[in-house]
Structures are given as C-alpha cells and as structure tokens.
Amino acid sequence: MRCISPLLAITVSLTSVAQAEEVSVAVAANFTGPMQEIAAAFAEDTEHEAKAAFGSSGKFYAQIKNGAPFEVFLSADAAKPARLAEDGFTVPGSNFTYALGSLVLWSADAERIPAGEGAAVLQAGEFRKLAIANPKTAPYGAAAVATLQALDVEDAIKPKLVQGENIAQTYQFVSTGNAELGFVALSQVIQDGEIGSGSGWRVPAELHEPIRQDAVVLTQGKDNPAAQALMEYLHGERARNIIRAYGYNLPE
Amino acid sequence: MGFSEADLQAIGLTLRLASLVTVVLLILGTPIAWWLARTRSRWKGPVGAVVALPLVLPPTVLGLYLLLLLGPNGPVGQFTQWLGLGLLPFTFWGLVVASVFYSLPFVVQPIQNAIEALGKRPLEVAATLRAGPWDRFFTVVVPLAKPGFFTAAILGFAHTVGEFGVVLMIGGNIPGATRVVSVQIYDHVEAMEYGQAHWLAATMVVFSFLVLLVLYSLNPNQRRF
C-alpha cells in the first residue's frame, strides 16, 4: 500500500492539470487594470488560467496575422476583431462587445477643470497643449476628435494638439504636466468610482460614437475549453462588476 | 503606390533634424573627445561612462527623464521658461536636444579613438615648430584624425535618422515638427496601412545599408562600430 499512495497522488494531480487549461489572451492596453482583476477572479472561479499580454491593439493585430500564439483577443475597438474575422483568423461568430469605453477630459492640476465645466474650458482655449491619442489608430483618439468637432472647437484647438501613440502615452503627457489637458480613458484615472487625482470632465456619451471594445476567439483557441470559458466568464456578473468599477459601460 | 505628402514631409523633417544634430554634435563632441583622449584626470572614467550611457540605456529611460526634466515641473523646463523659450517637449528643438544626448557616444567615441591613436608626438613636434594650440588642432589633429571625424559624422547622422523611442516619448507626433520617418512608419503599421509602411521601411533599409557601405568602403580601418 505504501508504494501505491505516491502513485495515486501523481495520478490525481495529473487529472486536475488536465482539467485546468491555460488560455493566452492579447489585451488592449486600456483594459490592463480590469483584466488583471478578471484573470484573478477567473482563476478562482474556474481553475483555468488566463495568461494576458497587454499592448496596443494595432500591434496585436499585426502579430496575430503573422502567427502569434494568442487564443483570445480583447481589442480596444470593434474594427480589428472584425477585420481578423474577415481574414479568417477567428472562430466565426465569437465576437462580442465586452466593454464600452468612457472618455474623460483630464488634467493633473486639481484646479484646472472646475466641476462640470470641461466644455467651457475647451471653448475658452486658455492652455498651451491638449494631448489626445492618435486618432488614426486609437479609438479614444478618434472619440476625442469627434468631441472637439461636436463642441465646434476643432479648428481653434488644432495647433495645440499633441498626440500620444496610444492612450497610455497620452496619459503620460498629461500626468507629467507637459500637456495641461488631455483626453484619456476614464479607466486610467478612476478610483472608487471618482476621478482619483487632478481634475476631469466626463465627456457626455452623445458627443462621440460609442467606443465599442470587442473580444473574439482566435483560430488557435478553437479547441481550448479555457478560451470558451473566458468568453463566458466575461459575460458573468463578477466580471461585469469589475468592468463597471473601472468606469466602462456595458452593452445592454 | 509611392510616398504620400505626409511621408515626404516626414522624410524632409528627418533629414533636417539629422543634419542639424550632426553639426551640433561635431561642435560639442569634439572638445569632449579631445579631453577624454588627453586627460589624466580621475574624472575621465565617470565622464566617459556618462557619454556612453545612451549606448546601453533603453530609449524609454532617456525619453521618460527628458520628459520629466524638460517639462513644466522639471529644472530644465523651468529654466527654459525663465529664459522665455517656453517648453521643449513637442517641439522640433526639443527633438534636437534629445537627439544630441542620444547620439553623443556615436560621435565622441570615434573622434576620441582617432585622437588617442595619434599619440602625443605629432603635437609635440608641431609645438616645437611654434604652432599654437588652435593651429596644432586644425593643421595637425583634424587632418590626421580625419577618418575619425568622418565616422563620427556618419554615425551621428545615421543614428539620429534611426531614432524612435525617444522621439515617441517627447515628440507628440506633430506633422512637420516632430513626426519623423520612424514614427510615420509606426503609425502606418498601427493603422494597418502595410503598403505605405513598406515603402518607407524599405527606403530606410536601403538608406542605412548605403550609409554603412560608404563608411566601410571609404574608411576600412574604422570598423569598430
């Protein structure tokens, strides 16, 4: 009997390894905070493990098309998952919107944007630089430009615009004070449901097209139960609460 | 397909930046190289190490500290504002300053090596013939160390053209001011415009190859870089 019990232990551990799969996920940089929490909760609730890589969606798109071993892609927009689907790199019909991004006009200076007066600050134009993410590549940048257009200040502010390559760099320009103001993701500055430091103005959703962030299962993840489990988990209450806590909205 | 207007603007800007940086670096780097080659001071080690730092530091480190130092709360930023120059990040001159730091070792080291290789003797002989210090520098050191200066200028220029990380960190991607070729290529790739990215990227490969080819063909003894 003594010789059997170690064997038994090995067999048991092997079975549990076989059940707990690992899924490799490419995650848009703006979703870093929530994804870390979701991955921890996912491991607790399902015993599967989600291994996340964070970066710009544009780079992930290029990498996935060139054989990167990701199984699930959480993009910062809806366009890239759609394009990957057209090109046959995804499991058909697996796209869904996991979060709707919220845009905020933010300054590191607590006095810079008086409560609720973001639009007035933009119209007065008394600042040196306004940072936005590159509108050509970053959905938050495109939403920022749409907001400036809706407020009819685009031409006046254009000479003051500086662009970050992505939303993380845009935040860096503003947080170091090199740009007094900037349009960043609410998820970057939110703390306990409020704007944590500096001052900010939540841009009303009707000023720009919704920032739909889509998730998709990639061809490599087709037969991985953990990939499917993660997609289902993102629909679940616990994940949705985490996503909401970071200032994202959820589709109806 | 060929170059778009924005591509051409980025190419022009890059060439302007690299030329200016090369001139500044030759003026600034030569005395540093001279001092490093000649001195017996105990500061030789530390100064040489500081000059070489950009060789090993990731551009993100340099970019981050430049952003903090040159920004409104940094000492350099407060100084430039006090001078009435405004702030350097997001301007062409900000890129010049950053590139000078970033390409410094590529200019100082070849000149320093060339001067060290000369030894003291030609200068001592010139001195006995009553050549003053400036005379000795321009009629003895410069002609004899010419291959070193040549290598320095080419590497300084090429390295500035190839710069990306630092520009990305402090540039702000402004057309005509800070959007250089490497950033433009990055933008094309991010926007999934692979065709346009190829045009610029292939041009960079050909350009870099030709520069190094010229360097190695005309200057076969300076292959250390």
Q: What is the pLDDT of residues B104-136, one digit of tens each?
A: 999 999 999 999 999 888 888 888 888 888 888
The predicted pLDDT at position A251 comes to: 87
Interval A117-138 mean pLDDT: 93
What's the whole-model pTM score?
0.81
pLDDT of A18 reads: 47
Whether B67 maps to a domain, the answer reads no
Identify all chain A residues contacting B73, using CB atoms and an 8 Å cutoff: 176-177
Taking each continuous run of H as one helix and of E as one strand, the counts in chain A are 11, 12
pLDDT score of A19 more than 60? yes
Nearest to A134 among B87, B89, B173 (CB): B173
**Minimum mean pLDDT among A2-16, A158-172, B42-56: which range?**
A2-16
CB contact under 8 A, A137 and B67: no
Residue A70 near residue A220, CB atoms below 8 Å: yes
Kindly report the nearest CA distance between residue A109 and chain B, in angstroms: 12
- Amino acid letter, residue B30: T
Does residue B222 carry a pLDDT above 60? Answer: no
**Could you tell me the strand order of the sheet in which A181-185 lies?**
A161-164, A130-133, A181-185, A103-107, A199-202
Residue B130 is assigned to a structural domain of this protein: yes
Give the mutation candidate from B80, B91, B173 for the A interface (greatest A CB count, under 10 A): B173
pLDDT at B220 over 70: no
Write out chain B residues lying below 8 Å of A62, CB-based: 189, 192
Q: Of chain A residues 24-63, which have a CB less than 8 A from chain B?
A: 56, 58-59, 61-62
Instruction: Please indicate, yes or no, if residue B72 is contained in any of the structural domains.
Output: no
Assigned fold of A103-202: D-Maltodextrin-Binding Protein; domain 2 (3.40.190)
Report the range of poorest mean pLDDT among A59-63, A152-156, A158-162, A224-228.
A59-63
In this prediction, residues B141-147 reach a mean pLDDT of: 90
Q: How many cross-chain Cβ pairs, A to B, lie less than 8 Å apart? A: 63
Is A171 touching B (CB cutoff 8 A)?
no
Q: Is residue B61 part of a domain?
A: no
pLDDT digits (tens, 9 = 90+) for A100-121: 999 999 999 999 999 889 999 9
Residue holding tokens 């892609």?
Answer: A73
Look at residue A14 and tell me whether its pLDDT is greater than 70.
no
Task: Report if residue B60 sits inside a domain.
Answer: no
Q: For residue A1, what pLDDT is reported?
A: 43
Which CATH number covers residue B26?
1.10.3720.10
Question: Bridge-partner residues for A53, per DSSP?
Answer: A26
Is A163 in CB contact (< 8 Å) with chain B? yes
Give the Cα separation of B23 and B27 in Å (integer): 6
Q: Is residue B91 part of a domain?
A: yes
Nearest CA in chain A to B89: A178
Q: Is the pLDDT of residue A196 over 90?
A: no
CB of A112 within 8 Å of a chain B CB? The answer is no
Contacts of B90 in chain A (CB under 8 A): 129, 162, 178-179
What phi, psi does A23 have (nearest 5°)? -125, 135
Asked, colleague to colleague, whether A4-100+212-245 and A103-202 share their fold, the answer is yes
Share the mean pLDDT of chain A: 90
**Ranges of each domain in chain A:** 4-100+212-245, 103-202
**Residues above pLDDT 90, as percent of chain B:** 65
Q: Tens digit of pLDDT for each residue in A41-78?
A: 999 999 899 999 988 888 899 899 888 999 999 999 99
Task: For residues B33 and B189, give the distance between their C-alpha atoms in angstroms, rounded to a whole number.
Answer: 39
Q: Can you tell me the distance from the alpha carbon of B87 to that of B82, in angstroms, rounded to the nearest whole number?
A: 10
Does residue B126 sit within a domain?
yes
According to the model, what pLDDT value does residue B221 have?
Answer: 60
Position B216 scores a pLDDT of 85
| pLDDT of A17 above 80 | no
Binary contact (B191, A58; C-beta < 8 A): yes
Q: CA of B224, closest CA in chain A: separation in Å? A: 35
With contacts defined as CB-CB under 8 Å, which chain A residues touch B67? 172-173, 176, 178
Q: What is the pLDDT of residue A184?
A: 95
User: What's the pLDDT band for A91 if we cut at 50, 70, 90?
Assistant: very high
Q: What is the mean pLDDT of chain B?
A: 91
Q: To probe the interface with B, which of A66, A77, A145, A163 has the most B CB atoms within 10 Å?
A: A163
Q: Kindly report which listed range (A122-126, A232-236, B124-128) carries the lowest average pLDDT score.
A: B124-128
Q: Which residues partner with A77 through β-bridges?
A: none
Residues of B in contact with A162 (CB under 8 A): 90, 172-174
> Is there a contact between A135 and A145 (Cβ–Cβ < 8 Å)?
yes
Question: Residue A12: what pLDDT?
Answer: 46
In chain A, which residues have their Cβ closer than 8 Å to the Cβ of B168? 165, 169
Region B187-212 average pLDDT: 90
Q: Please list every residue in chain A whose beta carbon sits closer than 8 Å to the beta carbon of residue B190.
A: 56, 58-59, 134, 136-137, 165
Residue B39 pLDDT grade (very low, low, confident, very high; cuts 50, 70, 90): very high
CA distance, residue B225 to nearest chain A CA (Å): 31
Whether the pLDDT of residue A153 is over 80: the answer is: yes
- Higher per-residue pLDDT: A188 or B192: A188
- Pairing label, strands A199-202, A103-107: antiparallel
Which structural domain range is residue B30 located in? Answer: 5-48+85-218
**Number of domains into which chain B is organized:** 1
Q: Band the pLDDT of A13: cuts 50, 70, 90.
A: very low
Q: Cβ of B72 and A134 within 8 Å?
A: no
Chain A positions in Cβ-Cβ contact with residue B72 (cut-off 8 Å): 177-178
- Give mean pLDDT, residues B203-220: 87
CA distance A176 to chain B (A): 6
Quote the minimal CA–CA distance from B168 to chain A in Å.
Answer: 7
Which residues of B are less than 8 Å from A181 in CB distance?
none
- Name the residue among B90, B170, B190 with its Cβ closest to that of A56: B190
Q: Is residue B77 part of a domain?
A: no
Mutate to test the interface with A, among B192, B193, B194 (most CBs of A within 10 A): B192
CATH 3.40.190.10 fits A4-100+212-245, yes or no: yes
A chain contacts of residue B70, beta-carbon cutoff 8 Å: 178
pLDDT tops 80 at residue A7 = no
Encoded tokens for B131: 């050549």
- For chain B, percent of residues with pLDDT exceeding 70: 96
The CA distance from B123 to B115, in Å, is 11
Among A6-15, A55-64, A107-116, A161-170, which is the least confidently predicted range? A6-15
